[in-house]
Amino acid sequence: MVHLMLLRESLKARLAAREEGQGMVEYGLIIAAVAIAVIIAIFALGPKIASMFSTAGASLSSDRNKKANFAAVNAREVLARVVSLPIETWNYLSQGPSVRHIGPMAQDFHQAFGVGEDDTHINMVDANGVALAAIQGLYQLVQEQELQLTVLEARLAALEARERELTLA
């Protein structure tokens, strides 16, 4: 950075000494100095900017035409696996203990569902798919319980009606 500042001061002094203007070489040197400064800034700020965009969210491609080898999912089975999946709070080693996260470990997720590229990462597509399948499994359970409740309510109403008949007789 000091080298750039010296180069800039040198160019400035040379330009001030000449009254007839700048030649092509001087323009080239100015452009080169600016390009070097931009490259240094990109290298210095690049990771921070990339981190900003990576945490802002992402739109994942889910076009049916870009996929193959479809297979149905048993939502109740996925739900059972989610229920047995250890969910913990933790922090990344690169963050302080006060920065907490919640979720499964990639190894447990991979063992439970067998999806993704390896057992050290959880792909968001897979996490979303598991969550949606588990929600469908829960919905199926609720629907079954509502049907059972309706049947039991009808039986109870019939028994109460029969009891009233017997007490009145």
pLDDT on residue 4: 56
Q: How far is CA 34 from CA 7, 29, 143, in A?
A: 11, 9, 67
Six-digit token string for 21: 């203007």
**Has residue 43 got a pLDDT over 90?**
no
Distance, in Å, from the CA atom of 97 to the CA atom of 57, rounded to the nearest integer, reads 24
Q: Residue 22's pLDDT is what?
A: 54
Statement: residue 54 has pLDDT above 90: no
The 8-class DSSP code of residue 117 comes to S
Confidence of residue 132 (pLDDT cuts 50, 70, 90): very high
Listed by start position, the domains of the chain span 2-55, 70-168
The reported pLDDT for the residue numbered 25 is 63
Q: How many CA atoms lie within 13 A of 169 on its CB side?
A: 6
Q: What percent of the chain has pLDDT over 70?
A: 72
**pLDDT > 90 in the chain, percent:** 61
pLDDT attached to residue 53: 57
Binned at pLDDT 50, 70 and 90, residue 14 comes out as low
pLDDT reported for residue 20: 53
Statement: the pTM of the whole predicted model exceeds 0.75:
no
Q: What are the residues facing 89 on neighbouring strands? A: 102
